[in-house]
Chain A
Amino acid sequence: MTQAFDAVAQQSLLETRAEAALALALRLGADACEVGASVDQGVGVNVREGEVETVELSRDQGIAVTVYVGQRKGSASSTDASEASIRDVVEKAMAIARYTGEDPASGLAPAELMARELPDLDVHHPWALSTEEAVELALACENAGRGQAGIKSSDGAGLSSGEGVRVYANSHGFLGSQRGSRHSLSCMLIAEDEHGMQRDYDYTSARDPRELLAPEAVGESAARRTLRRLGGQRPATGRMPVLFDPSLASGLVGSFLGAIAGGALYRQSSFLCDRLGDALFPEWFSLQEKPRLMRGMASSAFDGDGVATRDNVFIDQGRLASYMLSAYSARRLGMETTGNAGGARNLRLTAPLESQEALLARMDRGVLVTELMGQGVNGVTGDYSRGAAGFWVENGRIQHPVEEFTIAGNLATMFQGLVGVGDDIDTRGSIHTGSWLIDEMTVAGS
């Protein structure tokens, strides 16, 4: 059950289609046009309790066209990239541009900012994996977890492997394309004691399958994470320090990035409006974007406007050094694009790093949070209130699991109150960070 995917042929096909769509739009009277096209193919297998549960072959494609007629804009897209469909899409985008209003800020990014060189960032590592091999890896992962004493059952282990091509072209004559791959393996387990069931999971993810953790390591880690949750109590309500584990600390970086994104700023919908240059974090903390890292999970040489990506420093020694802007949001704010159309790519931080033990010792008494629930982050005000689970810490040591509580504060205050960063850096996503120790938040439990 494998399907052939010739990424190079797909790339050239998409490039041809994108150029055809551009030419058609200009012929139909567009003053400027941009086209995005992509195709992705993958296999996903899930096993549960030693048996194959699902095998899924996926293949997705799409083409999206935006036309500009004067300062008016129209967009249309389709999952059908046939010639007839491309004509429909372009015509529909043109029709829509008759009804939208004039927008002085609309239009392509300045031509001189287009990426000129498009280096190979080594992000395409296809995996010639048969379904049978995928099942074997998932079973090895699940077995390693299920075999641990105290695990009641498995909620499944899954392997997914995919590759794809994306193309962006515009009427400045820019055409960029990139092939990429992503592979991951995960396991979720259930344990039970007299108080009820608990589940948890772990995963590994990489551009190159050779960089994935061993299936057994993922299964065993999922078992440890599940078992350590048994016997959870509710912490006492009060104000105390909170240690966010690395996967959750990267979520705090994500909330920060959401608040410095151009779209939130020009809509006046961010708690970080008009804060450029302000000391938001302690002086020892800096945050950089490295969009051209070799093998980076979010690497790209051009952004969603075709603009050359570049290293950005968002936080420089605690101060807000730059917003995160696309060509459009930059025009709205009277600024220059930072090459961030489509978001941030590969975040790295600079801070003195400490072991988790050292951070726990500094915390003395508080909670280590290992799971967050819900969407209680208000980007307009920075108000933060989320459900949590983790561990009670007293005398600088983990005492017992805690659950069914909330942690609350305000992001601006939490950033100011960052007192330490762990050396336990999570490298699976595009934001790499260790644990974050926040000096004080409100915990609501019993």
Chain B
Amino acid sequence: MTSHTQPLLDQAAEALLTPGGLDLDALDTGLGHAMGAGIDYADLYFQRSWHEGWVLEDGEVKEASYNIDGGVGVRSLAGEKTGFAYSNQISMEALAETGRTAAGIVRSGRKVDAAPRVVTAPAARYAGIDPLAGLSADEKVAMLKEADRVARAADPSVSQVSASLTGVYEVVLVRASDGTLAADVRPLVRFNVSVIAVRDGRRERGSAGGGGRYPMSRLRDENVAERFAKEAVRQALVNLDAVDAPAGQMPVVLGAGWPGILLHEAVGHGLEGDFNRKGSSAFAGRMGERVAAPGVTVVDDGTLADRRGSLSVDDEGTATQCTTLIEDGILTGYMQDKLNARLMGMAPTGNARRESFAHMPMPRMTNTYMRAGQDDPADIIKSVSRGIYAVSFGGGQVDITSGKFVFSASEAYLIEDGRITAPVKGATLIGNGPEAMGRVSMIGHDLALDTGIGVCGKEGQGVPVGVGQPTLKLDELTVGGTQS
């Protein structure tokens, strides 16, 4: 047990169990209800979160809200079957009722006892603090007003500024029948600025934001209000000058950082364990095969300090790790939770995640990025005679079965004769995951991670994630502009 583990467990037990008259020993009884006849694994997931949000519009903080959420989710597994129930009361009565409900997925079979608890003692990937406590309400309001002031001063065409500051203090505790006992305290903060710029009757938006698993005071110390305000205005002004985007197949250069959403969509989802166990992924059965161009190495790393997508332990109590998904173009790993790992004869990778206690865990990404290559980003641009250079994106989506993926550029430029020229309007890029990864022909030495803005959706559940990549060139991708 490392030095921080016991205080973390005490902190979690006090926040989650004590108010309902429970303690760690009582969880064994609770687990007993979920380990009914024929059940081979069960877990209890306790969670409480305190969420705060401040929104500025028209130069004033007109909206602020505070939300308290919490409860326990109980899951019973029998082979491939899952029974799940939850309650927003944390009490022995609730554990008995939800446990019996979850265990009702099967009615017969041997009754197995839960293993004695063993405390998971992973390395802490962030400080277990309440991030909301670091700034006073007046300081939070002042940060938002600073963003408004900076954005309006940056350019006369700025007509609307909205800014938001949000923070979540989340405490979780997992107790599973395989002996797992793990606690985690997960801070998460974010600052966002969005502006509308108007010129000659034309109106465009620009936005910027970021954050991570650290105190709100760090957002102030890093001066994000000014930085994101200036960045949002810059993006809106670029878009005011944007011309129609081209349509059709052409070389595409993606900037470093947030454009790594490419990897999240084109390969990440397709390498989640559940889709591969069920054979519904375009990557199913391709372990050890070439699925990307030489030089392409993609990892999912939940261990990066203080990052939005990081976790010290996942939502099944497994320590997170850095999993190499693709190494030099060869498929080497899947992202797993306990259920899918067991059914595939593999080890869990610390990728079990759930939106809340009221949702079932699934294999999910953490921080997914491509490792740096050797190329100078300037040389990558120079190598393109006609194509697109895309540096910022909205969202993306993938059909994991056909492999088709899209992601929508929100800031992009034409490349003409090896030079970046006019900005173009937002356009959706579409491709096929394995094919697109095979067309990566140049990889920059400028690996960057995103600023901390990603939310990944899967089966209706949203979780915070990170992405990253160096500047990349894909020899051919379809660009969905209007100029054919």
Do A406 and B85 have beta carbons less than 8 Å apart?
no
Query: Are B484 and A237 in contact, with the CB atoms below 8 A?
Result: yes
Contact assessment for B83 and A55 in the assembled complex, using a CB-CB cutoff below 8 Å:
yes
Interface contact B248-A374, CB-CB below 8 Å = no
Q: Tell me the chain A residues, 417-446 only, with Cβ under 8 Å from chain B.
A: 442-446
The answer to the question of A334 belonging to the interface, with a C-beta cut-off of 8 Å to chain B, is no
A340 at the interface (CB under 8 A from B): no
Whether A77 contacts B406 by the Cβ 8 Å rule is no
Annotate B230-272 by CB proximity to A: 1 below 8 A, 0 otherwise: 0000000000000001011100000000000000000000000
Using CB atoms, name the residue of chain A closest to B478. Answer: A444
Counting CB contacts under 8 A, is B149 at the interface?
A: no
Question: Which of the segments B65-73, B111-119, B172-180, B305-313 contacts the partner chain?
Answer: B65-73
- B104 contacts A76, CB within 8 Å? no
Known: A57-B101, A75-B65, A405-B478. A103 touches B81 (CB 8 A): no
CA distance A403 to B403 in the complex (A): 11
Residues of A within 8 A of B247 (CB): 237, 406, 408, 442-444
Binary flags per residue of A51-76, CB closer than 8 Å to B gives 1, else 0:
11111111111000000000001111
Q: A58-B86, A100-B61, A197-B401 are in contact. Are A407 and B480 (CB under 8 A)?
A: yes
Interface check B11, CB cutoff 8 A: no
Check A269 against B196 for contact (C-beta < 8 Å).
yes
Can you list, as one digit per residue, whether each of A352-379 has a CB less than 8 Å from chain B (1) or not (0)?
Answer: 0000000000000000000001111010
| Complex contact A380–B408 (CB within 8 A) | no
Given contacts A385-B426, A385-B428, contact A79 B280 (CB under 8 A): no
With both beta carbons as reference points, the residue of chain A lying nearest to B52 in the complex is identified as A96
Q: A48-B278, A155-B280 are in contact. List 4 more A-B contacts (CB 8 A).
A: A55-B84, A57-B86, A153-B278, A405-B480
- Determine whether B205 belongs to the interface, using a CB cutoff of 8 Å to chain A: yes
Closest to B138 in A: A99
Residues of chain A lying within 8 A (CB to CB) of residue B484: 237-239, 442-444
Q: Which single member of A237, A380, A404 contacts B196 (CB below 8 Å)?
A: A380
Stretch at the interface among A85-93, A162-170, A178-186, A299-307: A85-93
The CA of A61 and the CA of B87, in the complex, are separated in Å by 10
In the bound complex, residues from chain B placing their C-beta under 8 Å from that of A385 are: 245, 408, 426-428, 480-482
A342 at the interface (CB under 8 A from B): no
Q: How distant is B399 from chain A, measured CB to nearest CB, in Å?
A: 7
CB-based nearest A residue for B90: A80
- Of chain B, the residue at the smallest CB distance from A273 is B203
Q: Is the interface of B mostly helix, strand, loop or mixed?
A: strand
Q: Does B319 contact A (CB under 8 A)?
A: no
If the complex has contacts A80-B70, A269-B205, are A444 and B480 also in contact, measured as CB distance less than 8 A?
Answer: yes
Residues 133-156 of B at the A interface (beta carbon under 8 Å):
137-138, 140-141
Cross-chain contact B480 with A408 (CB below 8 angstroms): yes
The listed residue (B71, B160, B428, B480) touching A267 by CB distance below 8 A is: B160
Partner of A373 from the list B66, B279, B404 (CB cut-off 8 Å) is: B404
Contacts of A123-154 to chain B: CB distance below 8 A? 131, 153
Is A103 a contact of B479 with CB atoms below 8 Å?
Answer: no
* B346 at the A interface (CB under 8 A): no
A79 with B402: in contact, given A155-B280, A385-B245, A445-B478 (CB under 8 Å)?
Answer: no
Once bound together, how far apart are the Cα atoms of A154 and B70, in whole Å? 35
B416 sits at the interface (CB 8 A) = no
B84 with A380: CB separation less than 8 A: no
Whether A79 lies near B60 (C-beta < 8 A) is: no
Chain A residues with CB below 8 A from B430, complex form: 373, 387, 404-406, 444
- CB-nearest residue of chain A relative to B79? A51
Task: Decide yes or no whether A35 CB sits under 8 A from chain B.
Answer: no
A341 to B114, CA, bound (A): 50
Nearest A residue to B106, CB-CB: A52
Interface 1/0 per residue, B51-95 and A, CB below 8 Å: 000000100111111111111000000001111111111000000
B105 interface contact, C-beta 8 A = yes
Query: What count of chain A residues pass the 8 Å CB interface test?
Result: 77
C-alpha gap A443/B478 in the complex (Å): 10
A383-B81 in contact (CB<8A): no
Assembly CA distance A321 to B260 (angstroms): 43
User: Which chain A positions have C-beta within 8 A of B280?
Assistant: 153, 155, 190, 197, 199
Does chain A have a CB within 8 A of B354?
no
Contact between B428 and A56 (Cβ–Cβ < 8 Å)? Answer: no
A375 touching B394, Cβ below 8 Å: yes
B332 to chain A, nearest CB (A): 22
Instruction: Give CA–CA (A153, B280) in the complex, Å.
Output: 9
Q: Is the CB of A96 within 8 A of B65?
A: yes
The closest CB in chain B to the CB of A409 belongs to: B482
Q: Which residues of A contact B141 (CB under 8 A)?
A: 99, 101
Give the contacting residue for B160; candidates A96, A199, A269, A410; CB below 8 A.
A269
Q: Which of A100, A103, A153, A190 has the most CB of B within 10 A?
A: A100
Q: Is the CB of B478 within 8 A of A406?
A: yes
Asked if A250 CB lies within 8 Å of chain B CBs, one says no
| A12 proximal to B (CB < 8 A) | no
B81 touches A52 (CB 8 A): yes
Q: Are B480 and A55 in contact, with the CB atoms below 8 A?
A: no
Does any Cβ of B come within 8 Å of A102's Cβ?
A: yes
The reply to whether A101 and B62 contact each other, CB–CB distance below 8 Å, is yes
**Contact among A60, A74, A78, A380 with B358 in the assembled complex (CB-CB below 8 Å):** A60
Residue in B71, B138, B426 whose CB lies within 8 Å of A376? B426
List the A residue with the shortest CB-CB distance to B103: A1
Cβ contact within 8 Å between A99 and B404 = no
- Indicate if A389 sits at the interface (CB-CB under 8 A): yes
Report the minimal beta-carbon distance from B165 to chain A, rounded to whole angstroms. Answer: 12
B480 CB contacts on chain A under 8 angstroms: 376, 385-387, 405-408, 442, 444
The answer to whether A56 touches B84, judged by C-beta atoms less than 8 angstroms apart, is yes
A322 lies within 8 A of chain B by Cβ: no
